[in-house]
Structure 1
Amino acid sequence: MTDSGTIHFGTGGWREIIGDGFTRANVRRITQALCDRMAAEGVDESGVVVGHDRRFLSLEASRWVVEVLLGNGIPVTLIERPAPTPMFMWTVRNLGCAYGLAVTASHNPALYNGIKVFTEGGRDAEVAVTDAIAARANALGEADIVAVAPEAVADHPLLTVQMSLNWYLDAIIEKLDMETIRHRHLHIVLDPMFGVAQTSLQTVLMTARCQVDVINDRHDALFGGRMPSPTAATLEPLKQAVLERKADLGIATDGDADRLGIIDDTGAFLHPNQILVLLYHYLLTTKGWHGPAVRNMSTTHLLDRVAQAHGEVCHEVPVGFKWISAKMDETDAVIGGESSGGLTVRGHIAGKDGVYAGSLLLEMVAASGKKLSELYADILATYGRLEMVEAAYSFAGKRKAELEHRLFTDHDLPDFGHAISRVRWDDGCKVYFANDGWVTIRFSGTEPVLRVFCEMPTLAEAEQVSALVAGRLGLT
């Protein structure tokens, strides 16, 4: 988060507190900056896809975006209903548009909103692109904004309004083994977490003849008082629903449906790391695919073990899904993902998609003839166990400079009590231990917190290493 008048993009787009940094003026400045960039690139006739989620002011902000785009003579395809962010990315690629804008703050708390920028092919915008847009936006004043009047939008000749989700959903359904799923008659509890996934994911599940129960589906801009992020803590209602209804599994997505959370048949929360490993193993063994995997620096090394066992490689990249999708393209990887719940698979969009990931997991369960809990037990028996702990520490704004100096200038790390094989400092700090464990320390790109991830052979070791970092830096 930055000063309310200064625009800055993080790893997941531009996000600010509503009424503070997230204002009509700043939304218009960002849009005008994009228009100026498109004109300079000579792509202003190729169009922009605009969409929004269910957050407070998302609908209104999407209209502010459209007014500026139309004012600059840029064709707009407006998805005029709350929809998954991956659908907007898919639509940018499908229509051949130069850019896309989604009004969303993804999994951030309810008081946030923001904008994600997509480039040609439906990709998350590279840092160079978002930095340039931010720099241009910060140089603009209200007098520099060119926009049509709100009443001129509805009948504007450059505006195309799209209500259907079906092209995106059909693209997912075509990739699935629907015949196998149909004959398993699986019982699913779906938790869209008051976000946008209900219509899309429920359509896929019901097309596959699943019995579907839905919870937390109403429009609630406060997300039921919880973070719209699928974690063990936030999915307690889904856990209870799965157990009470004796369902085969529970599927949850975050606020804009690009991240996934799973509750298995025993009521256990399946961490995104576990989902990633399960799906990679499934694609290699059952589907017969070949190729490497890609993960970010804070994601499980168990994925590396799966790759190695099949003669493949697992590539590590910095945090930010743009790095994952770029490496997947470079290496023709089978799967790419991150421990925060986002993943994608070769042949789909170059971005995370909770709707497709949940659907593919469903296919995996159906094809196996086993319970999800049994499938993960098989993974542990084959590849061994690694345990991860995650912590996020808020800090007063004035402490950030101090913490940055201690970490990245002084390299002020504790004595971990484990042999260290190497340390990398290019994206925060990552310490690699000789026992196949590691710890990362880095500032969030979307919230004012310091994140510590640690994975070790045992949970006790992971908790100890994480506590040593917190104690050294005075974090609570």
Structure 2
Amino acid sequence: MIEFGTGGWRAIIGDEFTRENVRLLAQGLADRMHEEGVVERGVVLSYDRRFLSDVAAWWAIEVLAGNDVPVTVITRPVPTPMCMWTVKQKGSAYGITVTASHNPALYNGIKVFTEGGRDAELEVTDEITAHVRTLDPAAVRSLAPHEVADSPLVTQQSSINWYLDAIIEQLDLDAIRHAHLSVVLDPMFGVAQTSLQTILVSARCEVSVINARHDPLFGGRMPSPAEGSLSPLRQAVLDQGADLGIATDGDADRLGIIDDLGNYLSPNQVLVLLYEYLLTGKGWSGPVVRNLSTTHLLDRVAAAHGEVCHEVPVGFKWISSKMAETDAVIGGESSGGLTVRGHIPGKDGIYAGSLLVEMVARSGKTLSAIYADLVARYGELVMEESSYGYTPARRDELQRRIFEEHDLPGFEREIDRTSWEDGCKVYFADDSWLTIRFSGTEPVIRVFAEAPTAEEAKDLSRTVADHYGLKA
């Protein structure tokens, strides 16, 4: 069974992530390309450092080449955004990267990108998976492994410099050079080290790296740059007296930040900082795009500059689509992904981290002071994120109670309105809000709550958990 969520297809290795399923998915994509008449534009394929990622990449290549589809394969583990950038630059019809992003080490998966380097729309992945279910594994057409490397249909690319140069060209490298910043990188045993280190060393930053070795078990932790996973980075920043620490998830499309005082800056805070910087520091103008589970502090910043903040459903494809429609400056989500106008239409932790370093360099202030200034201007909103597992029977019960019967808790604050467009979102009259929705990448139900204080946000989240009997 192949099922795509908001972040691609992810499955447990040896359970549903198997050679047969990877080959079936590749055959389904090849059939689609023939049907659309775009075979000659080819596919870009990359992979990360997870167990089987490199091997699975060649399983897919054997099938694509066996169906006369030209493939450009990046023959080293690279950030997912590099695959998206290469699709855009080459004008390829599709892109594939073998990754399960920030999922536990038992998982692997595949993300599919369409023209321009965009996350594939749900309509596209639904059509591919529906077609795959009709395929007989014995009918998959492929080249033998020994034929693939010498096939004229397969172009092997080892350089990452085109992608890095595209990022460097958008940075004020001169300002960074003269700021003499010290940065600690934590690639979380993923693929970000070479890219980020190359960019920052080129800008004369003092760079140290932790958690850089190849470890398919990710040091026993999830490769997700959330606050609970960044204790080693926090300690390294404090021990070294560094200006900031940058962590990226397993495939480097998301990031987490530690400031000069050892404070964790959430993706929400980073997104607000960068939007404010692009408007005031770089003189850009335009709206911002966020999903429904991302901070409303962006709305305040946008309003203060005479701009608009657009809200879209969860899934980065909605953000990139709305950005293209509105010519937005920046778009992002509370899970750590963001992109900036003029770059790729997808998440890029390498570019986001580099831009944050530029912001610190040009400000002449510490990162903690920059954020304190922002809070002084716009106030503060604090988010509480909770995830709850469930059995199949409980999922059916929760689906019925929440999304069919609209059985909501009795909240102690006035409700302004409720939206059921993508899960459930309750907007309160005091600028607080909460969302309840099933994850598109893991078997959990997620509750996000934002309020002026951490205690208020936690109270909203607890109210939801108590009402439905949810256990973390």
Range of TM-score over shorter length? over 0.9
Find the aligned partners of 1:280 and 1:216 in 2 and give their Cα distance. 30
Deviation digits for residues 273-319 of structure 1 (CA, Å, limit 9, x no counterpart): 00000000000011100000000000000000000000000000000
Match of 1:463 in 2: 458
Find the aligned partners of 2:157 and 2:302 in 1 and give their Cα distance. 41
User: Is 1:71–2:66 an aligned residue pair?
Assistant: yes
User: Is 1:142–2:142 an aligned residue pair?
Assistant: no
Find the aligned partners of 2:394 and 2:55 in 1 and give their Cα distance. 35
Deviation digits for residues 379-427 of structure 1 (CA, Å, limit 9, x no counterpart): 1000001111000011112211111000011111111111001101111
Amino acid aligned to 2:389: S
Find the aligned partners of 1:308 and 1:284 in 2 and give their Cα distance. 12
Amino acid aligned to 1:181: I
Correspondence 1:194-205 to 2 at 5 A: 194-205=189-200
Q: Secondary structure at the match of 1:451?
A: strand
User: Is 1:22–2:14 an aligned residue pair?
Assistant: no
Amino acid aligned to 1:19: G
Find the aligned partners of 2:394 and 2:108 in 1 and give their Cα distance. 25
Q: Secondary structure at the match of 2:155?
A: strand
Match of 1:418 in 2: 413
Deviation digits for residues 344-379 of structure 1 (CA, Å, limit 9, x no counterpart): 000000000000000000000000000000000001
Match of 1:3 in 2: none
Q: Indicate which of 162, 165, 168 corresponds to 2:160.
A: 165
User: Is 1:309–2:304 an aligned residue pair?
Assistant: yes
Deviation digits for residues 214-270 of structure 1 (CA, Å, limit 9, x no counterpart): 000000000000110001110100000000010000001000000011000000000
TM-score normalised according to structure 1 size: 0.99
Correspondence 1:254-333 to 2 at 5 A: 254-333=249-328
RMSD across aligned C-alpha pairs, in angstroms?
A: 0.5
Q: Secondary structure at the match of 2:167?
A: helix
Q: Indicate which of 74, 83, 86 corresponds to 1:88.
A: 83
Q: How many residues align?
A: 471
Match of 1:228 in 2: 223
Instruction: Decide which moves more: 134-143 or 374-383.
Output: 134-143
Find the aligned partners of 1:168 and 1:78 in 2 and give their Cα distance. 15
Find the aligned partners of 2:318 and 2:88 in 1 and give their Cα distance. 18
Match of 1:343 in 2: 338
Q: Secondary structure at the match of 1:38?
A: helix
Match of 2:53 in 1: 58
Find the aligned partners of 2:89 and 2:10 in 1 and give their Cα distance. 27
Match of 2:209 in 1: 214
Match of 1:433 in 2: 428
User: Is 1:354–2:375 an aligned residue pair?
Assistant: no
TM-score normalised according to structure 2 size: 0.99
Find the aligned partners of 1:163 and 1:14 in 2 and give their Cα distance. 26
Correspondence 1:374-385 to 2 at 5 A: 374-385=369-380
Q: Secondary structure at the match of 1:455?
A: strand
Find the aligned partners of 1:414 and 1:14 in 2 and give their Cα distance. 33
Amino acid aligned to 1:345: V
- Cα deviation for residue 461 of structure 1 reads 1.2
User: Is 1:152–2:147 an aligned residue pair?
Assistant: yes
User: Is 1:252–2:216 an aligned residue pair?
Assistant: no
Find the aligned partners of 1:140 and 1:105 in 2 and give their Cα distance. 24
Find the aligned partners of 1:409 and 1:468 in 2 and give their Cα distance. 20
Instruction: Give ranges in structure 2 of 5+ residues lacking alignment.
Output: none
Match of 2:178 in 1: 183
- Cα deviation for residue 175 of structure 1 reads 0.1
- Cα deviation for residue 445 of structure 1 reads 0.2
Find the aligned partners of 2:455 and 2:264 in 1 and give their Cα distance. 19
- Cα deviation for residue 139 of structure 1 reads 1.3
The percent of aligned pairs where both chains have the same amino acid is: 69
Find the aligned partners of 2:298 and 2:366 in 1 and give their Cα distance. 21
Find the aligned partners of 1:144 and 1:16 in 2 and give their Cα distance. 23
Find the aligned partners of 1:120 and 1:139 in 2 and give their Cα distance. 25
Amino acid aligned to 2:216: A
Provide runs of 4+ in structure 1 moved above 6 Å.
Answer: none
Match of 1:369 in 2: 364
Match of 2:437 in 1: 442
Q: Indicate which of 110, 113, 118 corresponds to 1:115.
A: 110
Find the aligned partners of 2:134 and 2:219 in 1 and give their Cα distance. 38
Find the aligned partners of 1:87 and 1:443 in 2 and give their Cα distance. 29
- Cα deviation for residue 144 of structure 1 reads 2.1
Find the aligned partners of 1:117 and 1:208 in 2 and give their Cα distance. 33
Find the aligned partners of 2:227 and 2:190 in 1 and give their Cα distance. 18
Q: Secondary structure at the match of 2:334?
A: coil
- Cα deviation for residue 77 of structure 1 reads 0.2
Deviation digits for residues 142-170 of structure 1 (CA, Å, limit 9, x no counterpart): 12210000010111011100000000000
Q: Secondary structure at the match of 2:418?
A: strand
